[in-house]
Amino acid sequence: MHLTYSHNGVTGEGYLALPETESGPAVIIIQEWWGLVGHITDVVDRFAAAGFVAFAPDLYHGQAAAEPDTAKKLMMELQLDQAGKEIISAANYLLSLPETSTQHVGVVGFCMGGSLAIWSGTLSPQVSATVGFYPGASWERHAPMWEKYAGKSALIHCAQGDGTSSAPGIQEAIAEIQAAGGSITAFDYPGTNHAFFNDDRPEVFDPLAAALAWERTLDFFFTTLK
């Protein structure tokens, strides 16, 4: 359900789905550059069906894109400091819900959101596990404090069309997170293009790779979130 929440004097908005079980681990889902569109709300629902308390913050605040030029404009206008605050506010909100069974939150994102998800592990001790689907190639704009990853875990799903895990940005994340004392795994998906998980984009969607990445993501969160 779409909602506006208020927690400790901070408000936010987004899409929440709760598990059919009484409780579950908390996961934040970060949008692609398109915004909080149907594909992302569907992913939130899928996490809830798998047993998670799942929430996608609306980082564009009601705006969304249907074509790349608009999406690029919205992405470039996104203020990273504010986006980071909204992700952490969402984490605190999820941890306040009686349905949340964990003391930490996981964050998963796609494309632009994949970079934000990995970055979020540097922003708060509340975020202990992150998953990035085909994150961007450069961390210059985020300026992450990688040392904050000590004791945390990360997972990156890499498309062949993006250069696989050999891409410089992925290699930087691996080296920096390991140096900080965190754990990180990067999986390559041969023959895939960027956004291979997005079943609303048939020109790039790869059902076999998407299913494998989904299974690995669920296993990762169930194993790491405590």
Q: What is the pLDDT of residues 66-80, one digit of tens each?
A: 999 999 999 999 999
Tell me how far apart the alpha carbons of residues 85 and 178 are, in angstroms, rounded to a whole number: 25
* Element of type H or E holding 183: strand 183-189
Contact (Cβ atoms closer than 8 angstroms) between residue 194 and residue 132 = no
Query: DSSP of 97-129, one letter per residue?
Result: STTEEEEEEEEEEETHHHHHHHHHTTT-TTEEE
For the chain, what is the domain count? 1
Task: Determine the structural domain holding residue 54 and report its residue range.
Answer: 2-224
Residue 121: name the closest of 111, 131, 113 by CA.
131
Q: What is the pLDDT of residues 73-122, one digit of tens each?
A: 999 999 999 999 999 999 999 999 999 999 999 999 999 999 999 999 99
Alpha helices by DSSP H, listed for the chain, are 38-49, 68-77, 80-96, 112-120, 168-179, 207-224
The CATH number of the domain where 111 resides is what?
3.40.50.1820
pTM above 0.85, yes or no: yes
